[in-house]
């Protein structure tokens, strides 16, 4: 279990109430990744959602020729593996630790169960994830425009 303060400092969880944060904290652990570690690969089962605590993580996507391209570099406070919330619960990209990193790992099945029971929490979480995805999509568009 981790402290509710650690979760509250994350933008995705900023609007969530204290009792809801306590429920979430119960299904969290901290994981550590050395520099260069592959945290997840495209197509992996998304059984955890991660909140980056320390370090940096590159999010990469495979191009048609098999080459991986970094589309975003996550910093502390950002979310990885949002696909743990959406069927088919598979990673859509590759996450590689750019630096030694630590992240709060949230059990995805238990998180989905909590959200099914607490619709307000589920709503707040999906609003936060939607904002995150919109931001990442905009970043990808900027990168595509710059590569032309």
Q: pLDDT per residue over 107-130, tens digit each?
A: 999 999 999 999 999 998 888 888
Using 50, 70 and 90 to split pLDDT, how confident is the model at 64? confident
Is the pLDDT confidence value at 131 over 70? yes
- Between CA 61 and CA 71 the distance in angstroms is 7
pTM as predicted: 0.89
For 18, other C-beta atoms within 10 Å of its C-beta total: 8
| Least confident window among 29-38, 71-80, 99-108, 121-130 | 121-130
Angstrom CA distances, 118 to 21, 44, 131, stand at 12, 27, 20
Per-residue model confidence (pLDDT) at position 148: 62
Alpha carbon 39 to chain centroid, angstroms? 11
- Between CA 8 and CA 6 the distance in angstroms is 6
Span 103-110, average pLDDT: 97
Is the pLDDT confidence value at 133 over 90? no
- Between CA 140 and CA 148 the distance in angstroms is 13
- Between CA 104 and CA 65 the distance in angstroms is 33
- Between CA 102 and CA 120 the distance in angstroms is 29
Span 34-51, average pLDDT: 96
Q: Which top CATH class is 30-107+117-147? A: mainly beta
């Amino acid at each position: 279990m981790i402290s509710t303060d650690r979760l509250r400092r994350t933008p995705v969880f900023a609007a969530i109430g204290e009792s809801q944060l306590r429920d979430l904290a119960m299904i969290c652990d901290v994981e550590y990744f050395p520099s260069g570690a592959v945290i997840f690969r495209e197509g992996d089962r998304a059984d955890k959602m991660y909140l980056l605590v320390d370090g940096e993580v590159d999010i990469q996507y495979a191009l048609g020729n098999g080459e991986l391209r970094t589309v975003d570099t996550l910093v502390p406070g950002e979310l990885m593996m949002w696909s743990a919330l959406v069927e088919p619960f598979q990673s859509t990209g590759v996450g590689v630790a750019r630096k030694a990193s630590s992240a709060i790992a949230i059990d995805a099945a238990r998180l989905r169960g909590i959200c099914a029971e607490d619709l307000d929490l589920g709503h707040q979480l999906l609003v936060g994830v939607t904002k995150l995805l919109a931001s990442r999509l905009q970043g990808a568009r900027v990168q595509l425009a710059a590569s032309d």
